[in-house]
Amino acid sequence: MSKEVITRFPPSPTGFLHIGRARTALFNYLFAKKNEGKMIFRFEDTDKARSKKEFEENMVECLKWLGISWDNPTIERQGERTDLYKKYLKKLVDDDKAYISKEKVEEGEKAGQENDVVRFRNPNAKIIFTDLIRGEIAFDTEELGDFIIARNMDDPLYHLAVVVDDFEMGITHIIRGDDGISNTPRQILIQQGIGAPQPIYAHLPLILAPDKSKLSGRHGAVSVTDYRDMGYLPEALINYLALLGWNPGTEQEIFLLEELTREFDLSKVQKSGAIFNIEKLNWFNKKYIEMMEPEKFQEAMKPFLPADVPYVTAMKLSQLIKEKISFFAQIPELLKGELSFVNSVQPYDKEKLNWKEDKNTKEYLKQIINILSGIDEFTKEKIKEAVWPYAEEKGRGNILWPMRFALSGMEKSPDPFIIAEIIGKDETLKRLDSAYEAI
């Protein structure tokens, strides 16, 4: 009878939630769910100077946005558990597994002052642990020396705090980034010191920047917030992140979170780092945008609309926008470019009104105007219905290209029927008239 799986997500609130951390959270979540276990969310805020409330809030908010949940009703903070660490610290010192050492602070504000740091008495053991992703990893801990585990008896440092927390919270699996590998031997040593069982480790490959270095702030957008603000959908981010370093073993690409909780398998996690590729994220995002209900899409695009575009116009354009964008922040440029016809037609070369070599454009425009004038219900369906027979008769390109070009003034644009409906009957006829006059 194996005991319940408990994983954890322990960020330190010293910045906005990093995309790599979000993936780590996701994998912990998926592993816990897959094994019908739990995931604990806690804040590692032993660095009081750098830990900020706003970052805590950001992390909670981002995880919720992504749909990743945790199983502890209140999120623990290490800052509120100092009595616990003190207890273990005292025990360690009493057992002579650690000792207090008077030392001068070398850097920072307190440089030069003396401090009673607590050092772990390193038994210089060889540590071998089995990583679920990488297999056996061996370390000689001798070179670690008697490392410091607390600033003083009241003020624990990271390594001590994590080990105590993982023990007290009954963590069975530690799934974390690759960069945690070298911390593992220290932590195992402390575990042995306090008599804690050794959890199972799984070190995830890092998410890399295009230059193959660890993805960090200097590489541009790296926080979940950045992507949310650019108009990426949580489903797309989850899907992309899940497939970065993991594969389902099939050729399926689209996965909803719920599906991932069933399919996820730690043994299919990659060993080597993966470069974060925005192009592929864009592709996923476009896919998820396509799947959105029109009303939901309209709602979602609201925050991204430029102030000078009337709401009603934007709503009319929503279907077109939905087809074109990969992420919502592209909306303003789309409205300024390809969809700018809604406001006005820029001056154009009249020769471009002709479809290929055909020179009867003036006649065609005349007839199109006649046809459209007779339509009362000016919808794209009705317009198409009315124009289509004529287009079939004279050749679709001959009719539809001049019509479209006269209405948009651009080589690339949506089809003429939609444009006509959006700008309305009066404006449509006006634009066709001026094309007719021009040519």
Partner RNA sequence: GGCCCUAUCGUCUAACGGUCAGGACACGGCCUUUUCAAGGCUGUAAUCCGGGUUCGAUUCCCGGUAGGGUCACCA
274 to 313, contacts with RNA by CB under 7 A? 274-275, 277, 279-280, 282-283
Least gap, CB of 69 to RNA (angstroms)? 22
Q: What does the alpha-carbon distance between residue 268 and residue 177 come to, in Å, rounded to a whole number?
A: 16
Q: Are 396 and 384 in contact (CB under 8 A)?
A: no
Q: How far is the CB of 104 from RNA (least distance, A)?
A: 5
Are β-strands 126-131 and 135-140 bridged in parallel, bridged antiparallel, or unpaired?
antiparallel
If you count DSSP H runs as helices and E runs as strands, how many of each does the chain have, helices first?
Answer: 16, 13
Which parts of 62-91 interact with RNA (CB under 7 A)?
none
Rounded-to-integer distance, Cα 55 and Cα 36, Å: 30
Any contact of residue 193 with RNA (CB under 7 A)? Answer: no
Helix axes of 361-373 and 396-408: crossing angle, nearest 10 degrees:
70
Position 271 contacts RNA (CB under 7 A): yes
Binding-site string for RNA from residue 225 to residue 264, where x marks contact by CB under 7 A and - marks none: ------------------xxx-x-x-x-x-----------
**From the list 81, 214, 228, 316, which residue makes contact with RNA (rule: CB under 7 A)?**
214
Stretch that binds RNA, among 57-65, 91-99, 265-273, 425-433 (CB under 7 A): 265-273
* Touching RNA, residues 100-119 (CB under 7 A): 103-106, 108, 115, 117
Residue 80 CA to residue 272 CA, distance in Å, equals 37
333 lies in the binding site for RNA (CB under 7 A): no
Give, in degrees to the nearest 5, the angle at Cα 79 between 224 and 28: 40
278 versus 309: smaller Cβ distance to RNA: 278
For tokens 């007839």, name the residue. 367
Length of the chain in terms of residues written: 439
Judged by beta carbon, residue 226 or residue 358, the one nearer RNA is 358
Examine residue 381 and tell whether it contacts RNA (CB under 7 A). no
Q: How far is the CB of 404 from RNA (least distance, A)?
A: 4
* Beta carbon nearer to RNA, 115 or 261: 115
Q: Does 157 bind RNA (CB under 7 A)?
A: yes
Bridge partners, 139 (sequence order): 127
Shortest gap between Cβ of 101 and RNA (angstroms)?
8
Selected from 18, 97, 173, 404, the binder of RNA by CB under 7 A is 404
**Does residue 367 interact with RNA by CB under 7 A?**
no
- Residue 36 makes contact with RNA by CB under 7 A: no
Name the maximum alpha-carbon separation found in the chain. 101
- Measured CA to CA, the distance from residue 214 to residue 229 in angstroms comes to 23
Of residues 117 and 365, the one with the C-beta less far from RNA:
117
**What are the tokens at 213?**
């270095």
Pick between residue 278 and residue 438 the one whose CB is nearest to RNA. 278
Quick one: 137 or 371, whose CB is closer to RNA? 137
Contact between 19 and 224 (Cβ < 8 Å): yes
Residue 206's SS3 state is coil
Kindly tell me which residue out of 272, 347, 351, 377 binds RNA, with binding defined by CB under 7 A: 272
State which of residues 69, 124, 213, 379 lies at the interface with RNA (CB under 7 A): 213
Q: Shortest Cβ distance from residue 418 to RNA (Å)?
A: 8
Applying CB under 7 A, among 25, 26, 208, 345 the residue interacting with RNA is 208
State the minimum distance, in angstroms, from the CB of residue 3 to RNA: 26
**Residues in binding contact with RNA, number by CB under 7 A:** 76
Residue type, 417: F
| Bridge partners, 18 (sequence order) | 223
SS3 178: helix
Does 349 engage in binding with RNA (CB under 7 A)?
no
Of 157 and 309, which CB lies nearer to RNA in the complex structure? 157
The reply on whether position 9 binds RNA by CB under 7 A is no
Q: How far apart are CA 119 and CA 101, in angstroms?
A: 7
Q: Is 39 helix (H, G, I), strand (E, B) or coil?
A: strand
In the complex with RNA, the residue whose CB is nearer, 114 or 437, is 114
Identify the helix (H) or strand (E) that includes residue 292.
none
Tell me the Cα Rg of the chain: 31
One of 35, 37, 47, 71 touching RNA (CB under 7 A) = 47
Q: Quick check: 139 binds RNA (CB under 7 A)?
A: yes
Query: How many Cα atoms occupy the beta-carbon half-sphere of 172 within 13 Å?
Result: 12
Whole-angstrom distance, CA of residue 434 vs CA of residue 359: 17
